Amino acid sequence: MSEQRERAWELLCEYTTDENLRRHALAVEAAMRAYANKLGGDVEEWGACGLLHDFDYQQFPTMENHPYRGAEILRARGYSEEFVNAVLSHADYTGVPRETAMAKALFAVDELTGFILAIAFVRPDRMIANIEAKSVKKKMKDKAFARAVNREEIARGCEELGIPFDEHVANTVAALAGAADRLGFPG
């Protein structure tokens, strides 16, 4: 484990005790690392960004506080403005534009990772690797399924990232399948 990853994990655990929120952070981290490799980003930085994008949510769950309080903490801990802006911009309501590839990737994978894990959870084999884009499209039409997941943000994130939907789903599924054991799913 790199020093940067260890530092991010410690900060996440300091503010987040809920196992579901930690699992979400690990999922977004896995997807961000994969996209850093694809898009020429710093794998450690992008992974840390994925881990920490919601680290403040459990303690500051309102729109007035999240992710603003987290941004203050990240700045105080020495994270770069690019990193902080990516965290801020993952929430549309902040009005912070997504100008970097890291920020666009974070927005694109945030909701999608949760949706993919929800699909895997209801499958008999619970195998993330078996999920295909057509399954995701079908479930997206079912408004009762994982209703808290914002489908518009999934579609917009894909557009902003500039990667076709099916390819984006395949990339994200592959990243999550590679981290299945850490996410509590069969590998």
| Whole-structure pTM value | 0.96
Question: Alpha-carbon distance 151 to 1, whole Å?
Answer: 34
Q: Where are the domains of the chain?
A: 3-182
Concatenated DSSP letters of 15-83: H---HHHHHHHHHHHHHHHHHHHHHT--HHHHHHHHHHTTTTTTT--STTTTTHHHHHHHHHTT--HHH
Class of domain 3-182: mainly alpha
Q: Which of 18, 172, 39 is nearest to 110 (CA)?
A: 172
Say what the alpha-carbon torsion angle 179, 27, 174, 86 is, to the nearest 10 degrees. -130
pLDDT at 1: 76
Q: Which of 184, 186, 181, 167 is nearest to 34 (CA)?
A: 167
Tens of pLDDT along 125-157? 999 999 999 999 999 999 999 999 999 999 999
Mean pLDDT for the stretch of residues 23-46: 98
Concatenated DSSP letters of 95-157: -----SHHHHHHHHHHHHHHHHHHHHHHSSS--GGG--HHHHHHHHH-TTTTTTS-HHHHHHH
pLDDT at 6: 97
- Tokens for 62? 């309102």
- Tokens for 97? 């534009």
What is the overall mean pLDDT for the chain?
Answer: 97
* 39 pLDDT tier (thresholds 50, 70, 90): very high
- pLDDT surpasses 80 at 173: yes
Q: Report the share of the chain in percent with pLDDT over 70.
A: 100
- Tokens for 187? 């590998």
- Tokens for 59? 């303690």
Mean pLDDT for the stretch of residues 61-73: 97
pLDDT at 184: 94
* 27 pLDDT tier (thresholds 50, 70, 90): very high
Q: Which of 53, 48, 59 is nearest to 18 (CA)?
A: 59
Rg (Cα) of the chain, in Å, rounded? 15
